[in-house]
Structure 1
């Protein structure tokens, strides 16, 4: 079966398997991406935060428990929205069941806009970047992660299974739709180069303060083998921008 956007997470088996993978210590989300996201967001005390593609809102729960003033999550999957509302359970948080393309972004409203491994599901990032820009207060931050373009250029090397031992990089400069075999399904994502992300952000008006490719740290992995495997190719691309 083929899924677009957040629809994959409304498939019961996919959702269950994803949540198990997401909770692993060695998952790229936990071992590589999360520490960088927190570093780049910086001080979020008393800040209002918009999280695009918030999933189960465990990120929002953590932000609020550490002093964020208000958290707004936008999520397209009905199952994820249900999990998010249960997880958040806070008067200082709101979850919207909306796709990122249809959500009505308020103007000049948030101190921080963030998105974690969600924007590669969106075909029109220019419009999304413009919406994020207008939703931010002056000097507000936009911090987001996507799958690294070296891994989304081609999924030929996943034909043997999800856990790649080698990576084929092909059609790198051919921007557009890709179909990834993932968790026994086909999930549609959108490939674009680092340069295309950069130009989309700067032409929107953002100032790019930092860019990271997720250099792995040994202490965050449970085994030398997995740490060494993650040293072979970057799996995450993270931008920190300011309005």
Structure 2
């Protein structure tokens, strides 16, 4: 499938369903059943800093930084409905941001060597050009600027529960690979009566693209939150899975 067609399908989904995701997976959260910014302190003090969010969604992560005295906030998103929601949400709380409605892969008129932080909370995996996107993000950052992003962990899409009749398997189920870790082909996924198009990239793909774009990785986190790990009596498949493998991951990288 052509990249433009993938972007069109995904944009249509978000323009149609933005309200369903209002306020989900936003700072201080980095992902599902995952350690938070309150645990990790990846941003540190953002007072007086300029920040750009890639795939800004409903604006909740931008508000998180506005509450912490960020000097300037920008948001980029492919969906005009997401931009509308984010703009309204920030204004309701007395804040403003500069918004651009465009794909992250596009030349969008974003200033170069301008930002202290560029970040994306569960958004970067939507790109159809990972290396190109990382190179653009590097160009937006000042020297020694920080890029932080989180996404679904690769293993999460590769491993699923499978029932078995063996009596020595606890609760008659186990985790099995249902997809190759090495398969980075695009796939269609039905969601909310519509569809989205994604691919499942290897962790090494992210690391190598960061290096080629001029970043050095300072931290990679793939840790389930303590509450989930210590939970007792929660036998939901997602909780059991999160105790055995990471559902999400997060990178912090510095521009050289």
TM category, shorter:
0.7 to 0.9
When the two structures are superposed, what TM-score results if normalisation uses the length of structure 1? Answer: 0.82
Map of 1:219-238 to 2, 5 A cutoff? 224-225=233-234, 227-238=239-250
Q: CA RMSD for the aligned pairs? A: 3.1
CA distance in structure 1 between the aligned counterparts of 2:49 and 2:229, rounded to whole angstroms: 28
CA distance in structure 2 between the aligned counterparts of 1:88 and 1:220, rounded to whole angstroms: 34
CA distance in structure 2 between the aligned counterparts of 1:214 and 1:18, rounded to whole angstroms: 24
Matched, 1:134 2:143: no
Deviation at 1:137, TM superposition (A): 0.4
The answer to whether the 8 Å contact 2:30/2:122 transfers is no
The answer to whether the 8 Å contact 1:154/1:169 transfers is yes
Matched, 1:151 2:160: no
CA distance in structure 1 between the aligned counterparts of 2:208 and 2:14, rounded to whole angstroms: 31
Matched, 1:76 2:70: no
The answer to whether the 8 Å contact 1:60/1:71 transfers is yes
Superimposed CA distance per residue, residues 8-39 of structure 1 (whole angstroms, 9 cap, x where no aligned partner): 1222xx3343338x289xx9736526437962
Deviation at 1:136, TM superposition (A): 0.4
Matched, 1:51 2:53: yes
Question: What's 1:160 paired with?
Answer: none
Return the structure number with greater helix share. 1
Residues 1:234 and 1:219: Cα distance change in structure 2 (over 3 Å): closer
Matched, 1:107 2:112: yes
Matched, 1:173 2:182: yes
Q: What is the SS of the residue equivalent to 2:34?
A: helix
Deviation at 1:233, TM superposition (A): 2.6
Q: Which moved more, 1:232-241 or 1:192-201?
A: 232-241
Question: What's 1:161 paired with?
Answer: none
Q: Give the alignment partner of residue 189 of structure 1, picking from 168, 189, 198.
A: 198
Work out which of the two has the higher radius of gyration on C-alpha atoms and give 1 or 2.
2
CA distance in structure 2 between the aligned counterparts of 1:184 and 1:214, rounded to whole angstroms: 32
Residues 1:36 and 1:66: Cα distance change in structure 2 (over 3 Å): closer
The answer to whether the 8 Å contact 1:48/1:110 transfers is yes
5+ residue gaps, structure 2, are 1-5, 163-173
Deviation at 1:140, TM superposition (A): 0.5
Matched, 1:93 2:97: yes
Deviation at 1:120, TM superposition (A): 1.2
CA distance in structure 1 between the aligned counterparts of 2:114 and 2:68, rounded to whole angstroms: 21
